[in-house]
């Protein structure tokens, strides 16, 4: 079992009520729901930052899509939207 640490934070009244309502609905503690929300937020942001870093590295190496590549992707999505 992983060790946990106590973290204190301030929430505005509306968010606190939303957290309480959600935790009751889920039959979970507020701590569990808040920790899960933070876990998902951190994971999403870490993923986005890593993808941005990869894109910047590709740009630094001069790896860009050609005009033909871009048109192919646009046409693919246009067909799907029709």
**Tokens describing residue 25:** 């609905």
Q: b vs e for 37-58, b when ≥16 Cβ sit within 10 Å of the residue's Cβ? A: eeeeeeeeeeeeeeeeeeeeee
Q: What is the pLDDT of residue 79?
A: 85
What confidence score (pLDDT) does residue 80 get?
80
pLDDT value at residue 70: 94
Query: pLDDT tens digits for 30-82?
Result: 999 999 999 999 999 999 999 999 999 999 999 989 999 999 999 998 888 76
Full-model pTM: 0.68
| Domain residue limits, the chain | 13-81
């Amino acid at each position: 079992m992983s060790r946990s640490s106590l973290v204190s934070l301030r929430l505005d009244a509306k968010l606190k009520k939303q957290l309480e309502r959600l935790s009751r609905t889920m039959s979970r503690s507020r701590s569990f729901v808040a920790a899960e929300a933070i876990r998902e937020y951190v994971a999403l942001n870490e993923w986005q930052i890593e993808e941005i870093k990869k894109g910047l590295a590709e740009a630094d190496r001069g790896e860009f899509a050609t005009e033909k590549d871009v048109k192919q992707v646009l046409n693919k999505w246009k067909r799907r939207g029709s």
